[in-house]
Amino acid sequence: MKKIFSTISLILIVMLGYSQSIQSLSKEFTLQTELNSTGSLLYSLSYKNQNLVTKGRTGFVLSNNENFNSNFSIVKWDTLTHRSSWQPVWGEVKEIKNQYRELAITLQQKSTNRILLIRFRLFDDGLGFRYEFPQQSNLQHFVVKDELTSFPLSGNHKAFWIPGDYDTNEYIYSTTLLSEIDENNRSKQADEISTRVAIPNAVQTPLQLKSKEELYINIHEAALVNYPAMNLEVNKQTFELKAHLVPDAIGNKAYLQTPYNTPWRTILASDDARELIASKTILNLNEPSTLENTSWIKPQKYVGIWWEMHVGTGTWHYSDQTNLQLDKTDWKSIKPNGRHAANTQNTKRYIDFAAQHGFDGVLVEGWNVGWEDWFGQWKENVFDFITPYPDFDVKALQEYAKSKNVKLIMHHETSGSVTNYERRMDEAYQFMKQNGYDAVKTGYVGKIIPRGEHHDGQWMVNHYNRVAQKTADYQIMLDAHEPVRPTGLHRTYPNWLACEAARGNEFNAWSIGNPPEHETILPFTRLIGGPMDYTPGIFEIKMDYYVSQRPFNNQSPNGFQVHTTLAKQLALYVTLYSPLQMAADIPDAYKKRLDAFQFIKDVAVDWDDTRVIEAEPGDYLTIARKAKGKDNWFIGAITDEYKRTSAIKLDFLDKGKTYVATLYQDAETADWKNNPMAYKIEKFIVNSSTILKVNLANGGGVAVSIMPASTNDLKQVKKYKK
């Protein structure tokens, strides 16, 4: 019977000229595949009858430079239609629809008899495809020397890009045509990134493109497991992008064993930029979580002993002595420098502040020994993650935090010494649990040990995923800084609340910083893969404010500043999605402006619904979100360096209900450069027919909270009219 079927398939293949096509359920996308005369499988994708990708290549070069991309015949193909929905543990919406058409093509290489399956899933907003290497006697252990996947685009699109790199994604975005992508043409930035290993004429994903026909196209990957990250080499004449995997020390890309499935390569597209941001395709391509109990996972807001080190008024290190040895130093006998921020008393102050203002967590960086020698030394044995500095009383702070109903957040900076972290992490997580910590922020500053490995290579990808699994085993929530950029794995590991993996707000403290357009690009690029711990909420915008408070290093004014207005810092809590949000500034900065701080206190971090109201990468973004299980809505609207007005229809509110809207806006005279801290706050009664007209300053923003009106509000607050 089987034989008859495959014979029929074979006849069909011959009849159809070795080509198959499927349409998305929306009918907007068409995927076409063909086996060409050399036996290579090519794929083409169109959207509303416009070509997105034409004859993209597939396949690999394996172990001994063996080609695994041609000389194939088609064994069979299968199609199916899938429709389901699922509820994330936390997220931007309560329920996620997962529907697609699937085409799975099984290929056999004639010369080797090896089997390769390519699975395509065509969603209503784009395509995902991956390679599957089934278990087989002719292919057991193998090395990926190169992945040949390519994306031949239909023209010289505009690209929002950061340079290809093996170790860092903390770049400013450049916006140029594909033909102009060039290492030397990237946005100017300080050379503060010490680890970069740039790839010529290549860019990183998520890559956002816009065609002359105004199609928005996004290329990325989903479910990066046991494989290196994909950069894209750009052919500036043909506009074909080719996968460039991050290698190991000897240039190999991945060591695999059958059965194995690669990550999904994704192409999202729409003529409406808002749809790209709302896409759930990358999440849908990830495996569901297997955790039975997720009640310990809590989206949350936190404050921390953090910004004071970045602005230079405190230090991570305890002593000014260097060349200390982790296991041989008697830390109690070391002379303190008097500026160590993570001391018991200061931590208590932060706990008090968190408790008073309703924050869940307090991050403390610099609590553990080793910071004297952590930076830029490529040193193996820097931290043990369990020994506090003499002025940090773990037990007393555990009790104090508990009495205030606040959780301390652990910090594990590995300084890139990952072998060290791997051998110590079980003990470190046990130490956390014993001392009342249930969330950890990890960090990977510096070059990776083992030497020759890169932040974005297979070895490190496995490390990050192992940390996600191990922290889940210990019921610990995770926030990773300097990891590979996310690919939707937070569906599989819902305890992995956030990553940094892009240029965060911290750069504004000590470098030329992030230009005003930066946060309008991030949602189309980095955040396509998952939530970001951007650390918004800086109120004291100009860093020269701190010069007089840095007596120890006499830093002269340097003009560094956050490149937004204060109101825009508030709006970022809505526009930059994360279930983990920091109120990143120093408590004093908030105490001086409690009225504006109220928005950070009120804003939710977990959502039933999200509406992208207007969006244009590099220019502006307005998003409204409904708090989980509540009738409260929050709006964030941001702009780039140009001011703008926006008319926000509140038609998402329940009809017939009245609400109080609090608008946190730029003052008339505000401007990110000259007057960034001028804001005004107004309250109005609104309903679902209200259209809020708001003005955003150059580099500005608006944040709005909308909550059901009480009878008192109805008496006291004026109706919105404009």
Q: Using CA atoms, how far apart are residues 16 and 13, in angstroms rounded to an integer? A: 5
CB of 656 to Ca ion, least distance (A): 47
Calculate the alpha carbon distances from 372 to 142, 184, 317, 428 in Å.
Answer: 43, 35, 5, 20
Q: Using CA atoms, how far apart are residues 670 and 680, in angstroms rounded to an integer? A: 10
Nearest to 582 by CA among 373, 327, 409, 402: 409
Output the six-digit token pair for 686. Answer: 């609104």
Closer Cβ to Ca ion, 502 or 635, answer by number? 502
- Is residue 477 within a helix (H) or strand (E), and if so which, with residue range? strand 477-481
Closer Cβ to Ca ion, 263 or 446, answer by number? 446
Output the six-digit token pair for 64. Answer: 């001994």
CB of 106 to ligand NOJ, least distance (A): 44
Residues 446-485 interacting with Ca ion (rule: CB under 5 A): 481
- Angle, to 10 degrees, between the axis of helix 394-403 and the axis of helix 344-357? 20
Residues 6-65 interacting with Ca ion (rule: CB under 5 A): none
* Pairing state between β 230-234 and 174-177: unpaired
DSSP string, 250-278: TS--EEEESSEEPPEEEEEEESSHHHHHH
Q: How many residues does the chain have?
A: 722
Positions marked catalytic: 506
Q: Which of the listed partners (Ca ion, ligand NOJ, none) does 301 bind, with a CB threshold of 5 to 8 Å by partner kind?
A: none
Residues 342-371 interacting with Ca ion (rule: CB under 5 A): none
CB of 227 to Ca ion, least distance (A): 23
Closer Cβ to Ca ion, 167 or 500, answer by number? 500
3-state secondary structure of 361: strand
Instruction: Give start and end residues of each alpha helix (H) in 237-393.
Output: 273-278, 281-284, 307-310, 344-357
Looking up tokens 């773990």 gives 394
CB of 410 to ligand NOJ, least distance (A): 12
Name 486's Cβ contacts closer than 8 Å, sequence gap at least 6. Answer: 499, 501, 529, 530, 531
Closer Cβ to Ca ion, 246 or 502, answer by number? 502
Q: Which of the listed partners (ligand NOJ, Ca ion, none) does 366 bind, with a CB threshold of 5 to 8 Å by partner kind?
A: none
Residues 499-528 interacting with Ca ion (rule: CB under 5 A): 500
Residues 390-419 interacting with Ca ion (rule: CB under 5 A): none
Q: Using CA atoms, how far apart are residues 97 and 196, in angstroms rounded to an integer? A: 39
Backbone angles phi, psi at 510, to 5 degrees: -140, 20
Closer Cβ to Ca ion, 502 or 692, answer by number? 502
Span near Ca ion by CB under 5 A; candidates 451-459, 493-501, 510-518, 590-598: 493-501
CB of 504 to ligand NOJ, least distance (A): 6
* Environment class of 609 (CB within 10 Å of its CB; exposed 0-12, middle 13-18, buried 19+): middle
Output the six-digit token pair for 649. Answer: 């229809």
Q: Which of the listed partners (ligand NOJ, Ca ion, none) does 413 bind, with a CB threshold of 5 to 8 Å by partner kind?
A: ligand NOJ
For 231, which DSSP code? E
Please, are residues 276 and 528 in contact by the beta-carbon 8 Å criterion?
A: yes
Task: List residues near ligand NOJ by CB under 6 A.
Answer: 306, 365, 413, 443, 445, 481, 500, 504, 506
Q: Using CA atoms, how far apart are residues 231 and 184, in angstroms rounded to an integer? A: 18
CB of 481 to ligand NOJ, least distance (A): 4
Output the six-digit token pair for 238. Answer: 């043909």
Closer Cβ to ligand NOJ, 163 or 504, answer by number? 504
Compute the Cα dihedral for 367, 371, 374, 380 and give only its sign.
Answer: negative
Q: Count residues near Ca ion (CB under 5 A).
A: 2
Q: Using CA atoms, how far apart are residues 653 and 658, in angstroms rounded to an integer? A: 9
CB of 517 to Ca ion, least distance (A): 20
Closer Cβ to ligand NOJ, 146 or 506, answer by number? 506
Looking up tokens 């606040």 gives 406
Strand order in the sheet with 701-708: 607-616, 620-627, 633-639, 701-708, 659-666, 679-686
> What value does the CA radius of gyration of the chain take, rounded to a whole number of Å?
26
Output the six-digit token pair for 714. Answer: 């109805």
Closer Cβ to Ca ion, 124 or 500, answer by number? 500
CB of 563 to ligand NOJ, least distance (A): 18
Closer Cβ to ligand NOJ, 190 or 647, answer by number? 190
Q: Which of the listed partners (ligand NOJ, Ca ion, none) does 365 bind, with a CB threshold of 5 to 8 Å by partner kind?
A: ligand NOJ
CB of 467 to Ca ion, least distance (A): 16
Binding residues for Ca ion (CB under 5 A): 481, 500
